[in-house]
Amino acid sequence: MQRADASQGLTTLSDDEALFRDSVYEFADREIRPHVRDMDEQARIPRQLIDRLFELGVMGIEVPEAQGGAGAEFFHAVLAVEAISRVDPSVGVLVDVQNTLVINALLRWGTDDIKGRYLPRLAARTVGAYALSEAGSGSDAFALATRAVESGDGYVLNGRKLWTTNAVEAEIFIVFATVNPEAGYRGITAFVVERGVPGFAVGRKEDKLGIRASSTCELLFEECRVPRANVLGEVGKGYKVAIETLNEGRIGIGAQMIGLAQGALDHAVHYTKERTQFGRAVAGFQGVQFQLARAATDLEAARLLVYNAARLRDAGQPFLKEAAMCKLFSSEMAERVTSLAVNLYGGYGFVRDYPVEKLYRDAKIGQIYEGTSNLQLQTIAKQILG
């Protein structure tokens, strides 16, 4: 598959990449957009829509073709998340977690046995989830209380996870627990846990401000036995699995935010050209034009940052700072652009009959999950200060 060289124009897409992004957007516009409001109100993504995402091939983008996936690059996952989030960020984050967190972690850290058992399922029809956060470990991600005790040919897990995206739909969960609390982060281990195993249950679903159709739930582990073969990576090296996967996941959130902002800007441009006040279209006022121009500039800058980080990742070059930058800037940009869209709609922007209030609500989470803005600033500062 053709790709633009990492040293060339960062927003320049190869013909294949442009075609891929456009085709995913056309799918989202045709098959997701008619259901956006109902999904938001009902706080769920219909299974038939998830099945269509699998048929489209966007749920297993980096899974090798031999295992049923698309065999494409990380950059294609970023393009898919961007295109879908332009219509509905709730569906965008479902695709994002599946690709940039779950599949990514299995590809990098899974044994041949784990890859053989789980990648074909994730590419075909099985949704995955990533469970790291707990009540006492949010930004301090490694202050885990969930325990994993060695027992026989496996481990027994006890504890509780919070804020798990895709929990309602998922059948496969990557779960982080500590095998040795005294060892701190060096005691953390990652496990692959399947829905339905004794001692594991999906708990309360959160009632959220935004991305409401995306499920976010607690997970409960009570004497949950996991076979040794389901350890992901090495025992005690779960912190490396988490850190490296989340660095890539932040690029995915950046893609979600630029897609979301593009959708809001699309609506704002269309509305201001149609809406008349004082005898002319609102878009005819210079004050409005300048606000739209600034929003478009901020969006393009965010897209540059996201694409740059994704290109670096695919090129095998360091991207820690760039991932933090793209996540920080794109999430804050998305809040500004969606807020502007609400303002330009006036009173109509404040009611649910029009699409921009939902995108405004959806944007807020970008500054919180997969590392808050303060954590991104801390990461960037450490990198530039050496």
- Burial grade of 309 (CB within 10 A; 0-12, 13-18, 19 or more): buried
Under a CB-based contact definition with an 8 Å cutoff, are residues 238 and 175 in contact?
no
> Of the listed 73, 134, 218, 370, which one is catalytic?
370
Q: What is the CA radius of gyration of the chain?
A: 21
Under a CB-based contact definition with an 8 Å cutoff, are residues 259 and 83 in contact?
yes
Task: Give the CA distances from residue 167 to residues 58, 161, 206, 270, in Å, rounded to whole numbers and listed in that order.
Answer: 19, 11, 11, 36
Q: What amino acid is encoded at 53 in this protein?
A: L
Contacts of 234 (CB under 8 A, 6+ apart): 189
Under a CB-based contact definition with an 8 Å cutoff, are residues 235 and 189 in contact?
yes
370 is catalytic: yes
Task: Give the CA distances from residue 155 to residues 228, 230, 242, in Å, rounded to whole numbers and listed in that order.
Answer: 7, 9, 19
Q: Which of 90, 87, 84 is nearest to 44 (CA)?
A: 90
Task: Give the CA distances from residue 268 to residues 68, 265, 366, 381, in Å, rounded to whole numbers and listed in that order.
Answer: 40, 5, 20, 35
Catalytic residues: 370
